[in-house]
Structure 1
Amino acid sequence: MADPRRVEFGDFLRSRREKLSPKAVGLPMGRRRRTAGLRREEVAQLAGIGVDWYIRLEQGRTVSPSVTTVDALARALRLSKTEHAHLKALARDGARSAFTREIVPPSIRRMIESLHQPAYITGRRWDVLAWNAAAEEVFGFSQFPERDRNTLLLVLTNKQTRKFYGASWTEVAKRMVAMFRATHDVWAGDPAFTELLTRLREGSPEFVEWWEAHDIRSTISGSKTMHHPTKGVLHFEHTSFQANDDPALKLVIYTPVEGGD
């Protein structure tokens, strides 16, 4: 059976190849092109590797590309720094333990409970593991069953949350999918991630479309406008931090701002 990470590696190569025009890399369009993207042999040539070898990589076969090969592919496909890092992560060998739900240390729980602004902790699968009173007032995490306390499920499959973000929902949700892609692909094939992916596919037609695009984005700070059912329009700046106790834990803090963008 194929290694799921190798399959994602190949799918990512194919998705970037199909989005890159010949003109962008100085190649003639030609008359017989059926699509606007590059051909496999063109990527192989640009990367300085054999066509058969590249085809095996794109097909997700159990082959281990060297760092040099990965870097050459990144240059050939004009990958961004985030995309390049993602390709390198997928190319790494080594056994990976099955996913287990993280446990938030008491010291971190006490820390977020002491904050006045909304704050919560998520794990690798984006499950919401702990939150403070201010976050409860805004997001109401406690009203959802534990298996539904996942930021992706809440934003993409919950109708009330969709209203919560108003006109900005599409932008917020699409960005989240691209950020989660980077995490998921490294955990591809793990039962916990497969179960989450199935729920997202079943609950959100938009997710299916965005997922197939295979876009990758890094986690960044930003701002959000929310339409709370009782508090009205809320404007926040948000940022996140990794915990030293367990890098899988991410602290997300929302700071209220006046007026928004």
Structure 2
Amino acid sequence: MSEDGARDDGRQQRQELGSFLRRQRERLDRTAYGLPPAGRGRAVGLRREEVSYLSGVSVTWYTWLEQGRDINPSRQVLDAVATTLRLTDAEHDYVLSLVGLAPRPATRADAVDIAPAQVQRFLDALDEHPAYALAPDWGIAGWNKAYERLYPGVATTAGENRNLLWLVFTDPSVRSLLDDWDDTSRRFLAEFRAEAGPRLSDPRYRDLISRLRAASVDFDTRWNEHGVGGFVSRERVFRHPELGRLVFEHHQLRPSDHLDLQLVVYVADAETRRRFARTKD
């Protein structure tokens, strides 16, 4: 991109930031801030100076933001303005992106014990393809009948232990089910660590890791190796005690309205699909 093109892009982003902040400011309910009505009894819309005061930012600096001036606002300033304007998480990250700042890091893992109804319906609709939903701490929050046929233990495991990492490292039936347990367990732990990094101070994570280190020598050893990796779609082979060798492609999805959940789907090959069809209720 040419230097002129880069300047044009920067100008457009600054203008978008200014327009966005102005629109958010103008829609706010003044009574929610304990402010009296503005001119002509208007109950909606904060003044620039009011936003700057509530954010701890100078009026001049905030005015320049709305005007799209060529300035470099800090994350601290934008975070303060976002809080004052009561932006949603998505709106807050959008503001940061317009000035080239990364989204805010995740801090805590929300407890997701049961997948939302619409997510569960999606899992059920996958029919012969085993699928499950993982919470941020890798607790299994939902699954379909095909996954239960692949791994019946998911339905009988106590809720506090229905966690993918816990099952992979502590359940002998899972170890025997996985054709490549050594490789898969390492991959899973590397993916989990990559996702968990910003949340390691969360009590949910600390407790899970502490329990796993005490329960599994393999986990403790591999946790100390500090492996980090991202998800890669790949072939997965299972050794089912009744159905024999099963082959799937392993995929991951994230619902756009529930980004804290990851959906894992095993797409069966033709032979595996036929075997599964014979075991349906």
TM bin, normalised by shorter chain, reads 0.5 to 0.7
Give deviations 1:128-155, integer Å, cap 9, x for gaps: 1011111111112102111111111111
**1:131 paired residue among 139, 143, 149:** 143
CA distance in 2, matches of 1:118, 1:159: 20
Give deviations 1:24-52, integer Å, cap 9, x for gaps: xxxxxxxxxxxxxxxxxxxxxxxxxxxxx
CA distance in 1, matches of 2:178, 2:185: 9
Unaligned runs of 5+ in 1: 1-65, 68-90
Q: Is residue 107–residue 198 contact of structure 2 (8 Å, CA) maintained in 1? A: no
CA distance in 2, matches of 1:98, 1:110: 24
Higher relative contact order (CA 8 A, sep 6+): 1
**1:106 paired residue among 100, 114, 117:** 117
Q: Is 2:237 the counterpart of 1:225?
A: yes
Paired position in structure 2 for 1:235 = 247
**2:175 paired residue among 162, 166, 170:** 162
Paired position in structure 2 for 1:40 = none
**Mapping of 1:178-257 within 5 angstroms?**
178-257=190-269
Give deviations 1:84-125, integer Å, cap 9, x for gaps: xxxxxxx99879356423552211211211112111111111
| C-alpha RMSD of matched pairs (Å) | 2.5
CA distance in 2, matches of 1:95, 1:239: 23
The DSSP-based 3-state class of the residue aligned with 1:227 is strand
Q: Counterpart amino acid of 1:231? A: L
CA distance in 1, matches of 2:256, 2:209: 28
181-190 or 102-111: which moved more? 102-111
**Mapping of 1:52-71 within 5 angstroms?**
none
The DSSP-based 3-state class of the residue aligned with 1:215 is coil
Q: Is residue 102–residue 249 contact of structure 1 (8 Å, CA) maintained in 2? A: no
The DSSP-based 3-state class of the residue aligned with 1:192 is helix
The DSSP-based 3-state class of the residue aligned with 2:138 is coil
Report the Cα offset of residue 236 of structure 1: 0.9
CA distance in 1, matches of 2:267, 2:261: 20
CA distance in 2, matches of 1:246, 1:95: 14
CA distance in 2, matches of 1:172, 1:98: 24
Output the TM-score relative to the length of structure 2: 0.56
- Stretches of 4+ moved more than 3 A in 1? 91-99
**2:157 paired residue among 131, 136, 144:** 144
User: How many aligned residue pairs are there?
Assistant: 171
Identity of aligned residues (%): 30
Give deviations 1:184-215, integer Å, cap 9, x for gaps: 22111211111110121122211112111112
Q: Counterpart amino acid of 2:220? A: V
CA shift in 2, pair 1:143/1:94, >3 Å: closer
Paired position in structure 1 for 2:88 = none
CA distance in 2, matches of 1:102, 1:239: 22
CA distance in 2, matches of 1:146, 1:226: 24
CA distance in 2, matches of 1:107, 1:92: 27
Q: Computing the radius of gyration over CA atoms, which structure comes out larger, 1 or 2?
A: 2
Output the TM-score relative to the length of structure 1: 0.60
Unaligned runs of 5+ in 2: 1-73, 76-101, 273-281
Report the Cα offset of residue 256 of structure 1: 1.2
